[in-house]
Amino acid sequence: MTAGTERLGARIAYLGPEGTFTHEAVRRWTAAGGAEPPERSDAALEPEPLATVREVHDAVASGAAGRGVVAIESSVEGYVVPSLDALVGSPDVVAVDEVVLDISFDAFVRPGHADPSRLREASAHPHGLAQCTRFVAEHGLLPVPASSNAAACRDLADHQVAFGPRLCGELYDLETLATGVEDFAGARTRFLVLCRRDGAPVAWAPRRASGTGPWRTMVAVTPVVTGPGVLARVTAEFAERGVNMSSLVERPLKVRERQYVFVVTLDGAPWEPQVRDLFGALLGAGDSLKVLGAFPVAADGPGLDGVLPDHAPTGSVRRDDGGADLARGLLW
């Protein structure tokens, strides 16, 4: 397949409304040049907010949108499972890039309404309110839930403060009362850039040609049988070839009780020899495989930092601990 054979829609579909963190991820990706694959270097793709992850997938699958952007993983909440399930279940959509964003909230007011004595309410999605409790308490505000942080900013009243991404100030002509008002800094979210499966080789071509890397690949592995040992067999195939799993998540299959599909993110590209060899071995054992995406590791970091503070969780025991500690840690 060569550049120019694909007729992609001129839009990037994302989970709206305008001003979501996903919208910010779209802007970041566009600014980095991601939105100008060779087949349409003459025009920028236009962001288009949609109401659900399902609609984003459908727009990409039908070709109505050339790209789609969805959140896939958060350092606080883990995988965004509905996004993951949509990708695992889709025959026509794959991930061709990733964007990692720091999740930080600014506090906005309507222009000229920053007088603290007149501000009485704080509005955001319940998750946003839960992440900015200190600011709400310090300012004596009443929390008022909104359907999204972006909607809270868009619909802001004179007596309200809204919490949202920096982008919302510009989009909705708001005054910034304070920046970085989240209780705990450092949360990050990873987004995937989606493309039609047929278009992935074209989307990857310039970066394959330029040697950009290292790459990561997401693959769904559905083992042919289940029970003790199945994950050991699959992980041994990775280990024998020195292919690192950077992430593993399992999702239950509806039709067969206690059967799972494993979604593995591995270090390498699908076309690299050790990955091809690995896939061949898994296929040879009878497993079903589906590559869900591949992309160079995001320039702004190796992924998501954890939130667990210790080397090993407090209360863990090790080999040389005494009998009483072992009994307490292991509940023997």
The footprint of its own copies on residues 260-289 (CB under 8 A) is 260-261, 270-271, 276, 279, 283-284, 286-289
Neighbour tally for 186: CB within 10 Å: 13
Q: 107 by DSSP, 3-state: which?
A: strand
Told to check if 299 binds its own copies by CB under 8 A, we report: no
Tell me the closest approach of the beta carbon of residue 295 to its own copies, in angstroms: 11
| CA–CA–CA angle 220, 24, 204 (5° rounding) | 45
The footprint of its own copies on residues 1-30 (CB under 8 A) is none
Q: Of residues 20, 148, 160, 189, which one binds its own copies by CB under 8 A?
A: 148
The footprint of its own copies on residues 194-253 (CB under 8 A) is 197, 200-201, 220, 222, 227-229, 231-233, 235-236, 238-239, 242-253
Tell me the closest approach of the beta carbon of residue 85 to its own copies, in angstroms: 6
- Write the binding mask 70 to 109 for its own copies: x where contact by CB under 8 A, - elsewhere: -----xxxxx-xx-xx--xxxxx-x---------------
Tell me the closest approach of the beta carbon of residue 290 to its own copies, in angstroms: 4
Tell me the closest approach of the beta carbon of residue 63 to its own copies, in angstroms: 17
According to DSSP, residue 145 is labeled E
In this chain, which stretch among 6-14, 26-34, 104-112, 139-147 interacts with its own copies, using CB under 8 A?
Answer: 139-147
Distances (CA, A) of 312 to 74, 246, 247: 21, 18, 18
Distances (CA, A) of 70 to 97, 144, 232, 248: 11, 26, 31, 19
What pairs with residue 49 in β-bridges?
Answer: 14
The footprint of its own copies on residues 311-330 (CB under 8 A) is 311-319, 326, 328-330
Tell me the closest approach of the beta carbon of residue 216 to its own copies, in angstroms: 12
Size of the site for its own copies (CB under 8 A): 95
Neighbour tally for 119: CB within 10 Å: 19
Q: Of residues 111, 138, 257, 323, which one binds its own copies by CB under 8 A?
A: 257
In this chain, which stretch among 13-21, 25-33, 59-67, 146-154 interacts with its own copies, using CB under 8 A?
Answer: 146-154
Tell me the closest approach of the beta carbon of residue 188 to its own copies, in angstroms: 11
Tell me the closest approach of the beta carbon of residue 275 to its own copies, in angstroms: 9
Neighbour tally for 227: CB within 10 Å: 8
CA 159, 50, 197, 277 dihedral sign is positive
Q: Which residues lie closer than 8 Å to 80 by C-beta, 6 or more apart?
A: 70, 71, 72, 73, 74
The pair of structure tokens assigned to 153 is: 């900013």
Distances (CA, A) of 117 to 110, 133, 160, 166: 14, 19, 11, 24
Q: Which is nearer to its own copies, 111 or 322 (CB)?
A: 322
Told to check if 294 binds its own copies by CB under 8 A, we report: yes
